[in-house]
Chains A and B, each alone.
Chain A
Amino acid sequence: MIDFGFTPFAAGVTDLDKANLSLAKQITEHEPSFNLCISCGSCSATCTAGQFTKFSFRVMCHQIRKGNTTLAIEEASKCMLCGKCTLICPRNVNTRNIIRLVRKAQTTTP
């Protein structure tokens, strides 16, 4: 039988029961505003680094939530800490602190 309809794209699926969410936990603990993000993308739109490369704070937050720690760390290394995103964010997410927490995790997570 031909299977019509939609199926999830396997590579995009995260099994949250198996994912390593330690970074997400760590960040939530130190910077609770992480959970206020509504993924509006304003931060990415204003981002200084984002003018030159495919870097997005919003996407990085998704990587963290999905447990893709390595990807998140790689992303965070591109940020210039300029602070535009913090001023723009409609939800008052403390973006620079999150970036710094991810960067610090690089030395603590395997």
Chain B
Amino acid sequence: MSYYHHFVIPFTAGLLFLVIVVAAKWIIWIKGLNNQQKRQVKGNIFTKKSLLATWEVLAESLFHRKVFKKNFLLGYMHMSLALGWFLLIAMGNLETRIFTHGQLNPPYVPIFFEFFEHDLSTLRYKEIFTFVMDFLLLFVLSGVALAYFKRATSKPLGMKQATKHAFVDKLALTSLWLIFPLRLAAESVTAGLYGTGGFFTRWLGEAIAPLPAIDMLYYPLWWAYSLSLGLFFISVPFTRYMHIPTETLLIFLRKYGIKETEKHTSYTQVELNACSRCGICIDSCQLSSELGISSSQSTYFLKSLRDKKATDYLTETCMLCGRCDYSCPVGIENSTIRLNQRRESPATGTSFGYVPAIEASKGKIAFFAGCMGQLTPSVTRATLALFDAADVEYTHIDKDATICCGRPLQVNGEENAARELAQKNKQLIEGTGAEALVTTCPICARIFAESYELSIPVYHHTQFLYQLAASGQLKLAPSNNLITYHDPCELGRGLGVYDEPRELLKFAGNLVEVKSSKTNSLCCGGSLAITSINQQQRNQMARKTLQSIGANDVDFVATACPLCKKTFTAASDENAILDISEILVKAFANTKQSSKPEQKQTAKETSTVN
């Protein structure tokens, strides 16, 4: 039996176009990967990782697990559309397969089966199929209804701002929104005329059947349904809907271990195209929520880069705090892509020829306070006092004169300039013959760990002090103070150090965990990666952050970054903002007074940041 009618052409042509374009893009992207990345694909494709990736594709692309986590209604909307549509296609295929006794049908047959076949009496499990197909259609339509609703007002779906879309996106959106109502209309009219359909389309069909000239709508509706499908498919490669096929590829590549490097690669293209422009990143950005700068967030930046139109404004108006990397349901490395874009066109040449070779005395542990450390001498003093208390043999390598670590230049895209400073500092560090490098500044720690290629381990002071405290080398006695901890961006999201500072604080008092912590922690506002916001704006952000971590309800706000400390202190007269080391010094002093039994804690695996 063969099924055909001219109205299937728009659908079939659209589908063919989409398949060809997506296949071509995938091939171009995979071919464009660098050699290292290609090796990762080859080495992992026939392993368990592909299975895991398949599972993740199902969980994310069909069930939208991460969107569910963000907001139930938003998750339901995405899931009903994706999963519902997928099941409609799958069930439709199964239905026609069974009906035609396993015959291979052109792709349009299951889609328009209600049109082609009015007598399903020979279909096995007919009742089940017709019920399920109607049920699934309603399921999808509920999602479409929510989508209409979201356009009208996005608040109930947990989003303050919805992305502003371009014209072709709107065209695609309209055709997508029309597909399922048109399917319902076409199937209902058919059901009214020929007695087909399931519980819902039959009921609706019979209800509208007495209307005059309803049979005149029969062909136009099937044409319209096919056209809306075809239009949507053709628009996919030119719109944000390209994220649907691209996210699948992204999930596989990521499972094979591919990450952003220090340069754009074709993996970046995959990420750019995998952005659904959902706009979740806008709400997570403090530039938007605190300062009302709502036009530079990742969704806009990625789009501009995808269209090869990234402006300085978009590239530079970002604190690189990394919050949106973690809130993005697709898991796009937004801040790394933005940083790499800055690296593409650094401001201009710098000249550091004036910097002499710097030397420091030898020691077992090289301690670096950094520029920010020089502005917060109390932190350096406290840390060194703790070193002394634990008999650490150290050399303070930037005690007298030193240069910047290079991270501020790096985050502003001036990679070569940063490397020049890094080279000088590397000589300084290696010249001390130290076995480890410890710094109180997460900004320095990040570049030491990621770009210096040192042969010795790098520790942030919270990691190093935790080892000392946990092994009992540093004796501490806790007080009854309530302490809350603020995760610095560079230390937390940047270097993944979340636990040691917390464990360390438990040696000193009672730790109060806040809601926006760890990957979700807020930026203090001091970020060196943005220069276009002024001090008043930074203060405003800092006050908000202090408020949200409940600074007024605790005795101390502890942080582990001298820049956070400076920024918070400048913005607030009321709160005591201390570096962990300063709090620990108090806990050390307690050991002299109290005779409390010392707290026992087992040391966990020693971790470094590099």
Distance from A56 Cβ to chain B, minimum over Cβ atoms (Å) = 13
Top 4 closest A-B pairs, CB basis? A53-B354, A92-B535, A80-B404, A97-B531
Instruction: Please judge, given known A-B contacts A52-B356, A87-B375, whether A80 and B408 are in contact too, CB under 8 Å.
Output: yes
Q: Is B347 an interface residue (CB 8 A)?
A: yes
Stretch at the interface among A10-18, A58-66, A100-108: A100-108
Q: Is B24 an interface residue (CB 8 A)?
A: no
Q: Please measure, in the bound complex, the distance between the C-alpha atom of A103 and the C-alpha atom of B414, giving whole angstroms.
A: 11
Other A-B contacts than A52-B355, A81-B404, 20 sampled, CB-CB below 8 A, are: A33-B535, A46-B374, A52-B354, A52-B403, A55-B354, A77-B350, A77-B351, A78-B351, A78-B354, A80-B352, A80-B403, A80-B408, A81-B408, A83-B371, A83-B563, A84-B372, A87-B570, A100-B531, A106-B348, A107-B348
- A46-58 Cβ-contact flags toward B at 8 Å (1 or 0): 1011011101000
B570's nearest neighbour on chain A, judged by CB, is A87
Asked whether B348 lies within 8 Å of A104 as measured between CB atoms, the reply is yes
Distance from A70 Cβ to chain B, minimum over Cβ atoms (Å) = 13
Instruction: Please judge, given known A-B contacts A77-B348, A78-B354, whether A92 and B534 are in contact too, CB under 8 Å.
Output: yes
Asked whether A103 lies within 8 Å of B348 as measured between CB atoms, the reply is yes
Q: Please measure, in the bound complex, the distance between the C-alpha atom of A70 and the C-alpha atom of B234, giving whole angstroms.
A: 54
Asked whether B408 lies within 8 Å of A51 as measured between CB atoms, the reply is no
Q: Please measure, in the bound complex, the distance between the C-alpha atom of A81 and the C-alpha atom of B352, giving whole angstroms.
A: 12
Q: Please measure, in the bound complex, the distance between the C-alpha atom of A51 and the C-alpha atom of B400, giving whole angstroms.
A: 10
Asked whether B535 lies within 8 Å of A80 as measured between CB atoms, the reply is no
Q: In the complex, what residues of A have CB within 8 A of residue B406's CB? A: 80
Asked whether A86 lies within 8 Å of B535 as measured between CB atoms, the reply is yes
Asked whether B535 lies within 8 Å of A83 as measured between CB atoms, the reply is no
Asked whether B347 lies within 8 Å of A100 as measured between CB atoms, the reply is yes
Q: Is B401 an interface residue (CB 8 A)?
A: yes
Distance from A95 Cβ to chain B, minimum over Cβ atoms (Å) = 9
What is the size category of the interface that chain A forms with chain B? 20 to 34
Number of A-B contacts (CB under 8 A): 82
A74's nearest neighbour on chain B, judged by CB, is B351
Within 8 A of A (CB), among B412-455: 412, 414, 417, 421
Q: In the complex, what residues of A have CB within 8 A of residue B534's CB? A: 33, 92, 94
Asked whether B351 lies within 8 Å of A94 as measured between CB atoms, the reply is no
Asked whether B535 lies within 8 Å of A48 as measured between CB atoms, the reply is no
Q: Is A37 an interface residue (CB 8 A)?
A: no
Q: Is B25 an interface residue (CB 8 A)?
A: no
- B561-595 Cβ-contact flags toward A at 8 Å (1 or 0): 00100100010000000000000000000000000
Q: Is A21 an interface residue (CB 8 A)?
A: no
Instruction: Please judge, given known A-B contacts A82-B404, A83-B408, A84-B374, whether A103 and B531 are in contact too, CB under 8 Å.
Output: no
Asked whether A100 lies within 8 Å of B412 as measured between CB atoms, the reply is yes
Which residue of B348, B351, B372, B402 is within 8 Å of A83 (Cβ)?
Answer: B372
Q: In the complex, what residues of A have CB within 8 A of residue B371's CB? A: 48, 82-84
Asked whether A96 lies within 8 Å of B536 as measured between CB atoms, the reply is no
Q: Please measure, in the bound complex, the distance between the C-alpha atom of A55 and the C-alpha atom of B414, giving whole angstroms.
A: 20
Q: Please measure, in the bound complex, the distance between the C-alpha atom of A97 and the C-alpha atom of B535, giving whole angstroms.
A: 11
Distance from A87 Cβ to chain B, minimum over Cβ atoms (Å) = 5
B354's nearest neighbour on chain A, judged by CB, is A53
Which residue of B349, B375, B409, B421 is within 8 Å of A84 (Cβ)?
Answer: B375
Q: In the complex, what residues of A have CB within 8 A of residue B351's CB? A: 77-78
Q: Is B532 an interface residue (CB 8 A)?
A: yes
Which residue of B347, B408, B417, B566 is within 8 Å of A87 (Cβ)?
Answer: B566
Asked whether A80 lies within 8 Å of B421 as measured between CB atoms, the reply is yes
Q: Please measure, in the bound complex, the distance between the C-alpha atom of A95 and the C-alpha atom of B528, giving whole angstroms.
A: 12
Q: In the complex, what residues of B have CB within 8 A of residue A104's CB? A: 347-348
